[in-house]
């Protein structure tokens, strides 16, 4: 699925910064095009479905509720 976002781009020192207006994601590059390309990559990572890197071990625990 493709989606369109708005990017604000400006120069800070020797770097170009690209920031997505709709989502709090930003990136940078040595050129405006590189900053925009890096922003696209950062947005793809931002919207990527999370995947567990380690499978958790599940355990059952028994608890007395209301015991005095």
**Residue 57 lies inside a defined structural domain of this protein:** no
Residue 57: is its pLDDT beyond 70? yes
Task: Give me the pLDDT at residue 67, please.
Answer: 65
Say if 59 falls within a structural domain: no
Given this model, what pLDDT does residue 17 score?
Answer: 98
How many structural domains compose the chain?
1
11 part of a folded domain: yes
- Kindly tell me if the per-residue pLDDT of 54 is higher than 80: yes
Q: Domain for residue 61, yes or no? A: no
For residue 54, the tally of other CB atoms under 10 A from its CB is 5
Looking at every residue in the chain, the average pLDDT score rounds to 94
User: Above 90 in pLDDT, residue 30?
Assistant: yes
**DSSP label at residue 63:** -
Q: How far apart are CA 7 and CA 17, in angstroms?
A: 10
Residue 1 pLDDT exceeds 90: no
């Amino acid at each position: 699925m493709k989606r369109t976002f708005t990017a604000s781009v400006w120069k800070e020192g020797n770097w170009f910064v690209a920031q997505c207006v709709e989502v709090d994601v930003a990136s940078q590059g040595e050129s405006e095009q590189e900053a925009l390309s890096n922003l696209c990559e950062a947005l793809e990572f931002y919207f990527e479905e999370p995947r567990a890197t380690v499978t958790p071990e599940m355990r059952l625990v028994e608890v007395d509720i209301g015991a005095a």
